Structure 1
């Protein structure tokens, strides 16, 4: 960790990305599961988009939200993996100061906003499950195409607006501690920790974003599922209760795949002062790659309509 010692320069012309600090010798091997996860994420999410596009019977609110989730998963995973692999495979570690800040302005802004959108889409899907179970006869009149479009627009706008301050907060600080970034990309909180100034406002805004956006979504998802469970327990038979609850399993798995790594990663990066750096970076990598990989698998295996169309697609190709 001697590379992280304080130096006597201000706003260095270049930063050095370490990748996964302390595991440089093993990075070529670490890249193999990362590539595998990314390949599964790309293939799975594109398959979801293709199936929904080709099947008119799937052109409904739940599947529109699922397509939006697939798009955000593709954006989030693709935004960081190429730079990670260039470090692992080609030792392309150097990045200019201006490029690093531009990456925060564009790439990381993109990741933050789309991550927020992903959370909002899961909330919209929870609302869809609530209407489908608690008000099944009014589902088509409540969640019309116009309402779905407005929900998606609201999700997109919220994510973009809340992500907007990050690059401005990063650009205002003087950087004079070191030019070594213990990560594989210029993340906001990772870069501002190198500033020789009080960065409390950046940290506080990150927590505000985390709890006001994702925390609010989790709260309303919990409310939705409380009402859903009340409706399920009122059903007359055990089979009916299990069958109805089974329609929610995919969504609950997708929620767990996103929120658990997200909260864990965000809190560790801010408060895990005694946690090894390589562990923090690996957790961040998990957050970027695991949810996009798991979501299409979850919905592909658990959603009967998508599973059936997928089997038809491969059967048709074989014949």
Structure 2
């Protein structure tokens, strides 16, 4: 395989490698570093015996991500306030034509699921990502992790049970979610407490991630009254030269708030039964770097 051919192969599979690395690490910058290291290893390797480049590249990326995850495990232990993954721009478009496959990919990269994955061991997380998100056979995962297939199946069972127990227990309708997101923006921008309250489930939760570097609740808020009043209070305090952009992040619609043209915060909603079940707010400046204001 020539150098040019190797480059073309890597570029072809890069979206999958980023998908694996991001789901493993929860940060775009860390995922990009891992994928770059995978490229260096691929470009310098003897590729003459590589019959399935996708499998080979995913194997390298997964092992690198596990190593990086183990290095960063203390990252969240010292984190100020709730932790959320870095927003990840997702637009599967024509690259994933199958609706069922697109739904699986979107679910596996959702904020709610990634928060649960943080509590898994690196090996459990790797098994869950490779099996549930990308459908790799247990035999392939066993080779990647250098474990027996039986051990991998046990890891998969534990990971699946943990994720099922921790993820939201409601189905999300994409159209309903998008509609409520747009109405939420309008009500919040107008400081319409009554309008917001009509959209919030009684036991709605608000999770704000600032890392202590911006204004956001340092504890999860619960109840429509607390969440509604907080959102209206934020609106009334205002953001200088504010504007909004609609994005698709982590498999669903989101709102990017810009201050003087620079990313200030990202809002995303979990929705069910016509009501907002959870509001996610990401304000840590380090987690907004990848969201260009355009």
The normalised TM-score by structure 2 is: 0.30
Higher relative contact order (CA 8 A, sep 6+): 1
Point out the structure with the larger helix share. 1
Point out the structure with the larger strand share. 2
The structure having more radius of gyration, on CA atoms, is: 1
